[in-house]
Amino acid sequence: MQGDDQLVTLCYMAVTLLQSVAEREQCFRQIEKLVNSTVLHGSESLCKLLRYLAEHTLNHPGKHVKEYQIATEVFGRPADFDPHLDSAIRVQVGRLRVKLAEYYQSEGREDPLYVELPKGTYLLTFRQHVSAVAKPLKTPGQSVIPQASVRPISRRLMIGIAALGILLLASMVVIAGLAVTKNRSQASSGADQPGLETFRTLWKPFLSGPEEPWVIFSNGAFIGRPETGLRYFDARYDSRERILDHYTGVGEVLGVHELDYLFDSLQQRIRIKRGSLLSLDDAKNNNLIFVGSPAENLTLLDIPGTQEFVFQRPSSGPRKGDLAIVNVHPQPGEASAFFGTPSGVPLTEDYSVVALAPSVNPERSIMILAGTTTIGTQAAVEYVCRQDSVAELLRRLGVSKAGELTPFEALLRVKVARGVPVETKIVAVRKRIQ
């Protein structure tokens, strides 16, 4: 009897494994349903990304997929692709995450299987919808067979099924063991305390405030219409009623995404607001992170901003009218002003400022991340979202990981290739006088 009991147990294990195979097929069917939905219809790149992530998640359980793999295997990026210099993949993954949420809030609300892409990972998760948990898993076309009509299984067949179950179970145990080990290693890496402490030192005022910090992105004042042409508002000739402030630069968009990703890893939420809607009361009551220069983030003209590296347009000279960063107190060997590539030719160089300053309320802080162009702004944000560059900035400021950071301003030189910031270096650093 004991042998028969063991055999029945092994048969149950084998049937359970076969059910797992059916569930795997259900996952792939749900992916195809998503791909053919109205939410993802027409977005070939996101559909391709979703299929790739699904195949990797289901075929290699527990194995982390790297950003470089996605770039080269899904989007055909070259072998020298560097995710630290190009955030395009993170942007695409963020778009897919939003689309999945949109699908399940609309046409997929009653689907029995939910597909999600948690922040901080490139592995999909599959979970049963609450209302569908009690429903049996049934493949299309499968009929329900009454229990009385099931014929007894022969002992030889039971032994065969049991042997198959043992082999499959052993394989899954090995895979699960490797996955647990891998996940523990990744969890340890993701919770890398020295790395996180580097970010916490820089962003401490924005992590310890009573409310979540606000990210204020620039949206310059334009006159005109997109279909007929836009130009900057000029108070000398234009009525303020004609201002169109619905636009921002691509660098600001990517910068906001980078900050959201960073603060999520630091377990802090952020609020996002466009510059034209920010009031002085908002500035008094909140810690603010400005993405974009005072040329377009106009609120910076009304509150304390930079003192050492100031954005100005020269009124004379060969670069008259171009936005520059003026070096108010140049040190020996430093230029008095820094200009990016002249307008009218492809952008290859830009300059940016990273500045921590006190707000109008001494108990609040301001971080300014701005370039003379939108690409320079993107580079400034990416600089403070990378561990190696933040560590270099803290070293230049003479701040240890456990030390207190005081207000400062840093000037960055940015090399640009095909509209992407590819290299960012510190030119000069100043500590602000309190």
Model pLDDT, residue 177: 46
In this predicted structure, which of 7-21, 121-135, 265-279, 380-394 has the lowest mean pLDDT? Answer: 7-21
- For residue 158, the model assigns a pLDDT of 47
- 186 and 241 inside one domain: no
Cβ distance 296 to 218 under 8 Å?
yes
Asked if residue 145 is part of any domain, the answer here is no
- Residues 186 and 212 placed together within one structural domain of the fold: no
Q: Report CA-CA distances (Å) from 219 to 178, 250, 261, 293.
A: 49, 11, 22, 10
Regarding whether 50 and 78 lie in a shared domain, the answer is yes
Residues 207 and 236 in one domain: yes
Identify whether residues 126 and 255 lie together within a single domain: no
Residue 371 contacts residue 350 (beta carbons within 8 Å): yes
pLDDT one-digit tens code per residue, 28-73: 889 999 988 888 877 888 889 999 999 988 888 878 888 899 989 9
- Domain identity same for 205 and 337: yes
pLDDT of residue 137: 42
- The pLDDT mean for the chain works out to 78
- Residues 185, 198, single domain; the answer is no
Are 233 and 214 members of one domain?
yes
Range of the domain at 330: 194-431
Q: Into how many domains does the chain fold? A: 2
Residue with tokens 């920010």: 278
The pLDDT score that the predictor gives to residue 428 is: 95
Distance of CA 166 to the CA centre of its chain: 43
Is the domain of 255 the same as that of 178?
Answer: no
The reply to whether 119 and 204 lie within a common domain is: no
Share of the chain above pLDDT 90, in %: 25
pLDDT at 195: 59
Same domain flag for 260 and 180:
no
The predicted-structure confidence for 358-387, as pLDDT tens digits, reads as follows 887 888 899 999 999 999 999 999 999 998
The span from the CA of 408 to the CA of 80, in Å, is 34
Q: Is residue 119 part of a domain?
A: yes
**Per mean pLDDT, which range of 138-147, 167-176, 276-285 is the poorest?**
138-147
The pLDDT value recorded for residue 402 is 63
Q: What tokens were used for 186? A: 């990744």
Indicate whether 180 and 209 sit together in one domain: no
Higher pLDDT, 275 or 133: 275
At residue 224, what is the residue type? G
Residue 150 lies in a domain: no
